[in-house]
Structure 1
Amino acid sequence: MTVSDLPPRLGSLTFHGPLSEDRAGRMIARVAAASPATVLDIGCGWGELLLRVLEAVPGSTGVGLDINAEDLARGRDLAKERGLAERVEFAEESALGTSHGPADAVLCLGSGQALCDPGQPYDPGVVLRELRRLVRPGGRVVLGEGFWVRSPTDGELAAMWPGAHEGDHLGLGPLVDLAVESGFRPAWIESASREEWEEFESGYRYDTELWLATHPDHPLADETRERVDRQRSSWVNGYRDVLGITYLTLVPITGT
């Protein structure tokens, strides 16, 4: 079986998250306004946002950390295509306790788990304290973090990821308050729209759904179909309109 026999992965996504072109452009402009010389991307995937920040700030350099070799290879290819290969490093390594940084700008979009001990419950406080450690004075952090739009019902929790419970996330207010307690001022607070979620969730599965429709008898079809159906159901029957993602542009408080 060759690579070409396998279903494609995430080829229809520009960003690995519910993020529109317009919102990304505004976020990048706010980061670029601080003229960061160094940029660190935690859980970068293929580093689309990282590359765009580097394009917006001539002379800046960046490091993207992730443990997915396929995504990192895609990022390196994108960097070459854009003439950025000499200014960015894509490192296949864990971000837990990373020695990369401090940096002038730190990106962490939907990847807070990369900064937490996998043997412990997920804690956004740990994420925020690590981000505070990794950003230089006067720098910027862009954090994409999940929050409950409203309290999920028992039925919705049962339809989400295995073991989902209400303590998995905070509400938006408590999350922003925690950012302040962790040594930041929230310079900008925004949340993904329903349209951004739908673009992401559908794009996440689009190529694989097309593959399943045309390869129903493939040796990997049953396994792939089960996985994709489970993913889709967790969204439409579980966290749709319940789980949000906020994008916080954070500025470290001087002296903390």
Structure 2
Amino acid sequence: MERDLISHLAHGDHPIAAPVSGSGLERLLTRAGLPPRARILDLGCGEGAWLTRALTLYPDATADGVDVSESGLAAAAEEAERRGVADRLRLHRTPAAGHTSAEPYDLVLCVGATHAYGGLAPTLAAVRGHLRPSSGLALVGEGFWERPPTPEQLALLGAEPDEYADLAGTVERMEAAGYAVIHGHTSTLAEWDEYEWSWTGTLSRWALTHPGPDGDAALAAARAHREMWLRGYRGVLGFVTLLLHQTPEPG
């Protein structure tokens, strides 16, 4: 099965697609305090949960969602119709790095999708290029080490020790890239568990009700992911979503 289809199926019961609760998501979006007729961009929008809730909270805002997943964008369009915000949402099937716009945005999101740019630093640089000068905000979700991983855990994750920093170091990396942190949400272990049990369980249930090669592949993916979570990063890898205000560029 294609990776994006596995992801789409696994997120069926948790479309936020990050270890963040619905209430945590809404607090972050509300804290942004966007101006009238705000323009919003989500780089790696997946199934559009963040965008559709933002458009519900800000009824005169418009938004663009960018992703490469056809199934994810189709789900985003359905959710936008269900919430009555489809007329204010534009969806683009293209790599995040390929998105351009003639107008800047008041809020740019990239939550759990920094891999689209090859890491946190290039993501922050790309986000800055989309922001409205002076007033634009970014909402960026990124992993961090809750505690130093063992060599065995790094091997299971396929990660390097410096791939993430600790929480303080993650904040420092964002501020070194030209942002001030103005609010944040640090995911709790309960949020992580809810997300991971949902991811692995929803995919397993689909697999067991769809016998055949696709079902076998989905079940194998669910079990491999659960192994990596329970024996690898549970309690080791954290997740923080930070609301950022750009700072003036030097000179």
- Does structure 2 retain, via aligned residues, the 8 Å contact 1:34–1:139? no
Q: What RMSD, in angstroms, separates the aligned Cα atoms of the two structures? A: 2.0
- Does structure 2 retain, via aligned residues, the 8 Å contact 1:32–1:56? no
Q: Percent identity?
A: 30
Residue number in structure 2 paired with 1:3: none
The code of the aligned residue for 1:201 comes to E
1:105 to 101, 104, 107: 107
The alignment status of 1:20 with 2:14, answered yes or no, reads: no
Superposed CA deviations along residues 135-179 of structure 1, whole A, max 9, x for unmatched, are 11212111001111111001111222xx32212212222221121
The TM-score with structure 1 as length reference comes to: 0.87
Question: How far apart are residue 212 of structure 1 and its match?
Answer: 3.8
Residues 103 and 11 of structure 1, relative CA distance in 2, 3 Å threshold: same
Question: How far apart are residue 89 of structure 1 and its match?
Answer: 0.6
2:189 to 191, 194, 213: 194
Residue number in structure 2 paired with 1:176: 171
Counting only pairs closer than 5 Å after superposition, residues 1-256 of structure 1 correspond to structure 2 as 8-35=9-36, 37-100=38-101, 102-114=104-116, 116=117, 122-136=118-132, 137-160=134-157, 163-214=158-209, 218-254=212-248
- Does structure 1 retain, via aligned residues, the 8 Å contact 2:145–2:164? yes
Question: How far apart are residue 255 of structure 1 and its match?
Answer: 5.2
The residue matched to 2:74 in structure 1 has which SS? helix
After superposing the two structures, state which structure 1 stretch, 30-39 or 176-185, moved more: 30-39
Residues 253 and 219 of structure 1, relative CA distance in 2, 3 Å threshold: closer
Residues 50 and 20 of structure 1, relative CA distance in 2, 3 Å threshold: same
Question: How far apart are residue 102 of structure 1 and its match?
Answer: 2.4
Distance in structure 2 (CA, Å) of the matches to 1:252 and 1:106:
11
- Does structure 1 retain, via aligned residues, the 8 Å contact 2:208–2:215? no
The code of the aligned residue for 1:15 comes to I
Distance in structure 1 (CA, Å) of the matches to 2:76 and 2:126:
24
Distance in structure 1 (CA, Å) of the matches to 2:215 and 2:52:
35
The code of the aligned residue for 1:128 comes to L
The TM-score with structure 2 as length reference comes to: 0.89
- Does structure 1 retain, via aligned residues, the 8 Å contact 2:127–2:138? yes
